[in-house]
Structure 1
Amino acid sequence: MTFLVAAVIAVSLAAGLLAEPRLPHRGRPVARAIAWVQFYVTLPFITFFVMVRFEPTGGSGLGLLAGYVELAIVGLIAWAIGRCVLHLSGPSLGALIVVCFMGNTGLVGTPLAGAIFGSDAIEPAIAFDALVSGPMFYVASVSIGAAFGSAIAPSARARVRALARNPPLIAVICGLVAPDALAPDVLVDAAHVLVYALVPFAFFMVGLTLGGEAEEGVLRFPPALTAPVAVAIGLRLVVAPLLMLALAALVGGVPDAYLLQAATPAAVSSVVVAHAFGLDLKLTASAVAWTTMIVVVAGMIVPSVL
């Protein structure tokens, strides 16, 4: 499973990078169209049918709370470094915050948890993805996009309206209150399959975005390791898991899958948010690419040595 996930990610990313030069002046519109479909169609569909049937299990609540605390701290550190040290503009600062606290717990973390720790780790991995990463995407990352993005008018009213037009969040609320009768098995199964079907499209979008952001028409991969990207790598892959490890010790331990989810690469959904709200696309896509490459390589090596 680990090698399959890695192969799909690598091929999809490469396909996007190679396709962009062959789509003159159309690579970014295609990437934006994929992001639009994900944000307004596929993610709300998946979210609604998963949340209708979702039944949280007990026993790991403190670990999930620790996940929120860890992500909040990482986001605050990213904001402080981006504003006070790197002096980033609004769209770049928002992008840095989002890629630092949004981990790819669904498309990368859950398959890796099963491959490294065994099938018993899949359930807690899904719980972390649904109860921690989901709300952080639907609420926190969209709020940051609305606050810092250049695609939204600077007035407070415009930014509140942008936050209110949040289809995935609406789908969460509807899914929590809707009866099970509105979620037939065939549609629930389709939502689960769609989660994995999104992987190639998501990383193809990242490849297109990276290609479209290449300077002077020169395609560069891996993307430039700039100071903001280096900060994102350090906070997402080093500081976040170390914080989760410390918090786990304070609460008496958490499932191994939670620790792995804390070390997942920057989420592809951060690119969706960047497209939707006008955050720094080059920084966002570069952070996703770098952190994903590091985690995928580590995920392929670790199981072979355990």
Structure 2
Amino acid sequence: MGRLLTDAAARLAAGGLVAFPTETVYGLGADAENTQALARIYAAKGRPANHPVIVHVAPEADLSYWAGAIPAEARALIQAFWPGPLTLILPRAAHIPAAVSGGQDSVGLRCPSHPVAQALLREFARLKPNGQGGVAAPSANKFGQVSPTHAAHVRAEFPELGPDQLLVLEGGPSQVGIESTIVDVSRIAQGVGPVLLRPGHISAAQIGEVLGVAPARPDEAAPQVSGSLKAHYAPRTPLRVLPLDQLLDAAGRDTSAPSAGRTAAVVFSLDARRAIPGVDWLECASDPGRYARDLYALLRRLDGQGYDRILMEQPPRAAAWQAVNDRIGRAAAAFATDGA
């Protein structure tokens, strides 16, 4: 891996793209200070130019290089959760390109815990004249689609990009499986915040324990962040999320018609299944952590198996399931008008 990491860091320094593993999902990385490299990320993903990306930094990075201010609340969260699946939104330092933030005056920073990500970030920083290399890296997938949790997912997502255009680092399956928690602390000086902009593995309760105050819900003036669109993280196969009784009703509907296609029904217990022609039953994890870890790989697998629709049982509404409900809710929203 040593030579490959060296080559990957050199690729970043030359303005190229490198996909790399993190504990959350695989990221599509480029030099966060190179506007042409950032444009390559947006072009590869089909991502709107006003949609910000997250800057990944090594554990020893000087955050004052990236952020114009680092409030005490941010330092407390860093002490508690970095390296780890937490992104902080901070005031953007004046010399950091606005392109990394979708033109906003804030910047998202994260220090991943995955050893391959950390090694890449350190090697890249070593190549930078100021020693402060940061890698802008949204999830390594087409915009709005299911995030990748394996290197093979990345290669399948970008078949048009050969090895000379995209270097993919292997790092095994992502252990968290969904994107990082995002907390806005960019407006502390104005008396606003902290604000939970995207739920994730690190919960609102954990953030509240550290700060002594629960994070607020997003307000109209909150910065735009990755994964904040109503419809996101969607498979290509129409998806609905339903309570079990409604799922069973939907699974049995129209399956006897000659034109009926195949249905994947994902439930918490196979005891709920019925003998319905054309319906394949799959049992999902009853633990929210494992459910999150398996979610994207499951959706990608079902996408490749020729199903006409996916029906998923609604997970519990408990706080522990907030991040999972956020992701599958946004995935289903892409098909809200679909009659699947």
Larger Rg: 2
Sort the TM-score into its range (normalised by shorter chain). under 0.3
Higher relative contact order (CA 8 A, sep 6+): 1
